[in-house]
A and B are shown apart, each in its own frame.
Chain A
């Protein structure tokens, strides 16, 4: 009876005639590095499932979004796990999509005839970052609010269409009632729909052109011979994707999923921080790590090229991705014969890692917390020197300059400044400022200035 039902279903649906050949299509024997793409796909699936679950409780209006997330995180049963998986899953998806792109680039799998595989993958990469950006905004905390403003400020630099782009991002001329619902609709309907479509194309192309064979040094891609050579290779050593290759995908995806679940259970989702409030200026806006490297980059580039950079960098990056399969469609695929490809990946990965690290410290930013000089610095000072130390704390010097381990890193460390600068030089610098140092000529009274210089003079080796 059971068998009859299964047979009937199979006959009407056509599983074994249509779908079975697809999942059993012959692929070359491949290694673990081929599982990155499928793991990214699984990560996306997890995001869809947890995202739908979150949408059951999330209220996408500016006056309640934060509260509803607070409810999901702290009151709803297992809510923090669902949000945690969505949060860590987002990081996993970004990492996997980038790793997959890097791996495809390294083994030259973007070459003939898989150019459109690469192009659709490029769009998937772009939209993954689109999901990451719109997703972090939905927390509607201070970071989210200011991320919209910072994002729009960059768009505003675009020539001619700058104002239009900011207007689109804000959904009007303010970040307000209309902004959040639009980011919500973009995050849960628009981009996912586009990703589903692109994934369909991407996977269809994998079937159409076959899984690229692991590259062999010295074997070159040639328009006239490649397809025939691939056919022969598959005929000779091809194995069915399911289960010969697929089991590795399952194991790797399970491993990633376990890590995400453990992180969600142990560390939980990202802290909500403070609710978005444009009138609370005491904000310290930072994007999530996947944009922190760019945030850091914007602090480090020289001011002179900033306008060009903010518009040019994303543009050039996009153009490079698009033209890659057309400027290098043939030839060697093996990374051993393409040292520059290895170099590009290594330099990129290292730079992004360093920039994320740099961005989380943000030494270019004044330390805006209340800072007090340690007793070791103020011990044994005269009354006027103590006054100077007071001014150093009060007048904002300490927010940019470190003395004995306390203070900001924006300006030079002043622990031993008394050794390198005379009191005349100190006075001159404080009065006139210079480069990134504000001039304090109108702020400090002559007596205060003298005390401050007196104090700094005690900072000798």
Chain B
């Protein structure tokens, strides 16, 4: 009888100790986990970025323009910047092509003479309108929203890299 009481008592103490330790772990662990995941939880602000005046771009040309990404941190240095291929198709219309190949995200190079985007990683090729011309890319280059303001400035809306590399 005595032994059984002792066994029960020990089992109880062991379980209480384990439960308390687990609780302590959760109390410490949950805030740490939330802190680590916080960059994923905060939505990035939508902010149009100026990339130049309309008159700076020639019709039919595609050029690289750089701007700050959506949520640059003060110590991000050059990696706070990002770029798109901006094409002026006519007097009023612009297209902004993501620099990221839709295959695995490598930076596509615009070859004006060949009128092609070439990817240096696995040989993806795109036409001037961003459609696939050859190689492994599964679909056209992603496009970013672009607009012309009333005072003739061209603006690009930065998109998360997570969107420009993954399937839309």
Contacts and interface: CB of A to CB of B under 8 A. Distances in A.
A436 B114 contact: no
Contacts of A436: 123, 125, 134-135
A407 to B, nearest CB: 13
B166 interface: yes
Interface in B102-150: 103-111, 113-116, 118-123, 125, 127, 133-136, 138
Contacts, number: 195
Among A149, A173, A285, max chain B CB count under 10 A is at: A173
A437 interface: yes
A92 to B, nearest CB: 28
Contact of A443 (B80, B103, B115): B115
Contacts of A177: 72-76, 79-80
Given A156-B165, A177-B79, A394-B113, A365 B134 contact: no
Nearest to B134: A436
A192 interface: no
Contacts of A275: 78
Interface residue tally of chain A, by bracket? Answer: 35 or more
Interface in A176-207: 176-180
A174 B82 contact: yes
A174 B163 CA distance: 10
Contacts of B66: 279
B114 A395 contact: yes
A61 B83 contact: no
Interface string A429-441: 0000101111100
A interface, by DSSP: helix, strand, loop or mixed?
A: loop
B81 interface: yes
A281 B64 contact: yes
B116 A153 contact: no
Interface string B49-80: 00000000000000010100111111111111
A318 B116 CA distance: 40
Contact of A164 (B40, B100, B111, B123): B40
A299 interface: yes
B40 A306 contact: no
Given A303-B136, A436-B134, A162 B166 contact: yes
Given A176-B69, A436-B135, A278 B78 contact: yes
A154 B104 contact: yes
B74 A285 contact: no
A433 B136 contact: no
A357 B63 CA distance: 35
Nearest to A163: B162
Contacts of A285: 106-107, 120-121
A275 B135 CA distance: 28
B12 to A, nearest CB: 31
A63 B120 contact: no
Given A146-B106, A281-B109, A285-B106, A299 B136 contact: yes
Contacts of B99: 278, 281
Interface in A138-181: 145-146, 149-150, 152-154, 156-157, 162-164, 166-168, 170-180
Contacts of B103: 153
B30 to A, nearest CB: 18
A281 B79 contact: no
A443 B78 CA distance: 35
Among A62, A63, A279, A399, max chain B CB count under 10 A is at: A279
Contacts of B160: 173-174
B34 interface: no
A63 B78 contact: yes
A366 B76 contact: no
B81 A278 contact: yes
A156 B105 CA distance: 10
Interface in B26-53: 39-40, 44
B123 to A, nearest CB: 5
A281 B44 CA distance: 24
B75 A61 contact: yes
Contacts of A168: 40
B71 A174 contact: yes
13 contacts: A146-B107, A152-B105, A152-B161, A174-B82, A175-B79, A177-B73, A177-B74, A180-B79, A285-B121, A365-B119, A395-B113, A399-B118, A443-B115
The 8 closest A-B pairs by CB, nearest first: A177-B73, A63-B77, A396-B114, A173-B160, A177-B76, A438-B133, A436-B134, A156-B166
Interface of B: 39-40, 44, 64, 66, 69-83, 99-100, 103-111, 113-116, 118-123, 125, 127, 133-136, 138, 160-163, 165-167
